[in-house]
Structure 1
Amino acid sequence: MSLQYPLQGKVAAVTGAASGIGVASAQAMADAGARVVLIDRDEAALAKACAAIGERASPLVLDLLDAKQCASLLQRTLAIAGPLDIFHANAGLYVGGDLVDADPDAIDRMLQLNVNVVMKNVHNVLPHMIERGTGDIIVTSSLAAHFPTPWEPVYASSKWAVNCFVQTVRRQVFKHGIRVGSISPGPVITSLLADWPAEKLAEAKASGSLIEASEVAEVVLFMLTRPRGMTIRDVVMMPTNFDL
């Protein structure tokens, strides 16, 4: 493994890769030498992201909320880049505020993407990784999975579910040489924050309680570059001021 390019020769796929944590993670992996397939439904934003990353990035336009498209993720990734070593399940939606004010359709859409799609994507890539006897799966969770956040009961519940999924699947597949872990960042400067309650967003900005997506990507890279005998199973990261 090259110190400069620790992921040289690896193939990675990242969902929700056209912006935010997804594109930052793809950038970090490409900079570390991996060939990265960026997966998103926003074709224009995806093309822009791949152009910015360079020759190691390839776009895959998929609407993960479409069952047939979702099921094609692995085969289409293999066709683009070859055997898959790393899968970062990052795509997600946010629903915040009081539950009584939530739109039921928005709840359905968020739970479908944040929970069901993650499970289906991992279910899709696991047989391939098991056959190869190696692989890394990272799921983007949230600080909300570790604290009953009162202003986002729907979103927090989806991330609690994801954390349980990560914990249980990891125990099933480590015998196959597959590592499964999650990152749980506090508030990250992404488009998801556009749906935050205005007063909470203003408070976070005023106190410096936000994380850059690139800082989350650095942690993803750290997890991926540990010796194969070590699993970084969960990382909770937040701005120091967030607990004030």
Structure 2
Amino acid sequence: MFTYSNKTALITGASSGIGEAFAYSLAEKQCNLILVARNEAKLKALATKLAATYKIKTIVIALDLSTPGASQTLLHEVQNHDLKVDLLINNAGFATYGYFDQVSGERQHEEVMLNVTALVDITHAFMPDLLRNQGGGIINVSSTAAFQPDPYMAVYGATKAFVLSFSEALWAENRKRGLRVLALCPGATETSFFDIVGSNEASVGSRQTPSTVVKNALRALEKGHSHIISGCQNYLVSQVSRFFPRQFTLGIVERTLRPRS
């Protein structure tokens, strides 16, 4: 049994999309929130609304998690508020799209720092509290892109494969220690993701709403699953690489994601 009432959840990338949907869903369950993202104005507006609507405690921490040392800064900020995290949701991340050599190397480095390094560092920083609290949980947002290499999104797919592998390893390590760990693997979702990527061509299949993705994630966490692929269509697509040669699957993915121009 996993409970949310009077617990505290820390959500990265909380200012929009799936992160914002997590905030609404958890607030409705009477879970106090620590909201983390770069956009302080959006975070403050969201925190104020959730606190007034659901009578919960909300804390805002504006921080660029892709910078070195960000995880320790975040930990110290949380400690300064005298808070203990019961549920950690590593949602912050972004993708780049295009031929690898034509996408900014600096931007792709930032992508790895946020999608991988920050996620690992933040998880490590808060693990002691999560283990001490008993009944804690971690949700790491991966993607259906984790299940096969992704031409034209090579770095993004690789980072999400890392998140899936890392999360499932932690699930196995900690399932008898009172800590639940879940890798959330959504497919295309109705968020600003594709605006940031810069192309709708990176979208595969129909898009789910963030609230649907979050509902599926929390249900999977409560059941103690190691990962969840949100949506039946996404599940079927993610299994293709299990039944066909890798080069064949890669050919399909390449043609699907290939830039139109």
Same fold per TM (> 0.5)? yes
Residue-by-residue CA offset, 1:62-111 (whole Å, 9 max, x unaligned): 22123333213234224436221100001001112221221110110000
Report the Cα distance in structure 2 between the residues aligned to 1:214 and 1:124, rounded to whole angstroms: 28
**How many equivalent pairs are there?**
233
Determine if contact 1:96/1:152 at 8 Å carries over to the other structure: yes
What SS is found at the alignment partner of 2:225?
coil
Which residue identity is paired with 2:192?
A: S
Partner of 1:27 in structure 2? 24
Alignment of 1:81-160 (within 5 A): 82-160=83-161
Report the Cα distance in structure 1 between the residues aligned to 2:166 and 2:233, rounded to whole angstroms: 28
Determine if contact 1:25/1:220 at 8 Å carries over to the other structure: no
2:224 to 217, 228, 231: 231
Report the Cα distance in structure 1 between the residues aligned to 2:50 and 2:39, rounded to whole angstroms: 16
Report the Cα distance in structure 1 between the residues aligned to 2:70 and 2:100, rounded to whole angstroms: 31
Partner of 1:66 in structure 2? 67
Partner of 2:241 in structure 1? none
Determine if contact 1:144/1:159 at 8 Å carries over to the other structure: yes
Partner of 2:213 in structure 1? 216
- Displacement of 1:197: 5.8
What SS is found at the alignment partner of 1:67?
coil
- What TM-score do you get using the length of structure 2 for normalisation? 0.80
Determine if contact 2:94/2:197 at 8 Å carries over to the other structure: no
Partner of 2:34 in structure 1? 37
- What TM-score do you get using the length of structure 1 for normalisation? 0.86
Identity, in percent, stands at: 26
Partner of 1:170 in structure 2? 171
Gap change, CA 1:32 and 1:174, over 3 Å in 2: same
Determine if contact 1:19/1:49 at 8 Å carries over to the other structure: no
Residue-by-residue CA offset, 1:85-143 (whole Å, 9 max, x unaligned): 10000100111222122111011000000000000000001112223334100000001
What SS is found at the alignment partner of 2:137?
strand
Partner of 1:15 in structure 2? 12
Report the Cα distance in structure 2 between the residues aligned to 1:194 and 1:239, rounded to whole angstroms: 25
- Displacement of 1:38: 0.6
Determine if contact 2:144/2:187 at 8 Å carries over to the other structure: yes
Report the Cα distance in structure 1 between the residues aligned to 2:122 and 2:228, rounded to whole angstroms: 21
Gap change, CA 1:31 and 1:78, over 3 Å in 2: farther
Report the Cα distance in structure 1 between the residues aligned to 2:105 and 2:149, rounded to whole angstroms: 21
Determine if contact 1:78/1:84 at 8 Å carries over to the other structure: no
Q: Considering only aligned residues, what root-mean-square deviation do their CA atoms show, in Å?
A: 2.5
Determine if contact 1:139/1:166 at 8 Å carries over to the other structure: yes
Report the Cα distance in structure 2 between the residues aligned to 1:190 and 1:33, rounded to whole angstroms: 25
Report the Cα distance in structure 1 between the residues aligned to 2:233 and 2:47, rounded to whole angstroms: 32
Residue-by-residue CA offset, 1:150-207 (whole Å, 9 max, x unaligned): 3311110110111111121222222321111111000112222114464526x76xx7
Alignment of 1:199-210 (within 5 A): 200=201, 209-210=206-207
Structure 2 unaligned residues grouped into runs of 5+: 238-255, 257-261
What SS is found at the alignment partner of 2:98?
coil
What SS is found at the alignment partner of 2:69?
helix
Gap change, CA 1:124 and 1:197, over 3 Å in 2: same
Partner of 1:51 in structure 2? 48
